[in-house]
Amino acid sequence: MQNQQGQTHENMQTGAIPPQMNHGGHEVFDVHEVLSGTIGTLNTYMLLRQHVQDQELLDILDRQYQFIQEEYNLSLECFQSGQDPSKRTQSYKMNQGNDFIYGLTPTQPKKPLQSISEITDECISGLMLGAVKSAASLKAMSALEITNPVVRRVFADSIPNCIEMAYEISIYQNKHHYYQVPQLAQQDMQQMLNSYSPAQGNNNVSH
């Protein structure tokens, strides 16, 4: 045991740490949390799929599930090997436009489900949105602590994909009035838009 510890210490001094051991302690815990959270998202999507009624939402769920699963496998691979994954990381592309409907229309107040039979596409898309938003936050915080350069890059590349998936779901919800977007009065909006002015160019901050 002492020899192993001595060898590890020597490797750290010389920089000859095996790739699969090139992880900080905090990083290992963060990556475990991200991988566990990703499994939770995939399991949630799997459980929800049978209750989806709208074909468009089903298509979003299936495309996102496949993409998240592929990202999970790449993240796990580079975490365990400490080296580049066997495939390049990809960028998630949604199929719809990015037009939001602004304003509020009357809807029934929301409340928790009383039975499984009450599950709707609004509920399903809301759970999906919550899952990918949580993933974006967790991966961003984790990437700041990761020392392994490959794992850091894979996680950093994944954050925009989480954002894109969340945006796709929110647009779907907005179209069906599940996710409504109020706006400020025009006068208030104009005042907020003009609340700041550009910084003046001065590259010599010491003066």
Highest mean pLDDT among 4-8, 23-27, 33-37: 33-37
Cα distance between the two ends of the chain? 58
For residues 174, 123, 168 and 163, what is the CA-based torsion angle, rounded to 10 degrees? 120
Give the whole-angstrom CA distance, residue 71 versus residue 78: 11
Identify whether the C-beta of residue 75 lies closer than 8 Å to the C-beta of residue 33.
Answer: no
Mean pLDDT of 108-132: 94
Residue 19: band (very low, low, confident or very high) from pLDDT cuts 50, 70, 90: low
Surface-to-core class of residue 16, CB atoms within 10 Å of its CB (0-12 exposed, 13-18 middle, 19+ buried): exposed
Mean pLDDT of 50-58: 97
Question: pLDDT of 77-98, one tens digit each?
Answer: 988 988 888 888 899 998 877 7
In the chain, domain spans: 19-94+119-179
CATH T-level fold of 19-94+119-179: Ferritin (1.20.1260)
Give how far the C-alpha of residue 121 lies from the chain's centroid of Cα atoms, to the nearest Å: 21
Q: What percent of the chain has pLDDT above 90? A: 61
Question: pLDDT of 134-185, one tens digit each?
Answer: 999 999 999 998 888 899 999 999 999 999 999 999 999 999 999 998 989 9
pLDDT at 108: 86
Question: pLDDT of 63-75, one tens digit each?
Answer: 999 999 999 999 9
Tell me the average pLDDT of the chain: 88
For residue 5, pLDDT over 50 is answered with no
pLDDT at 85: 85
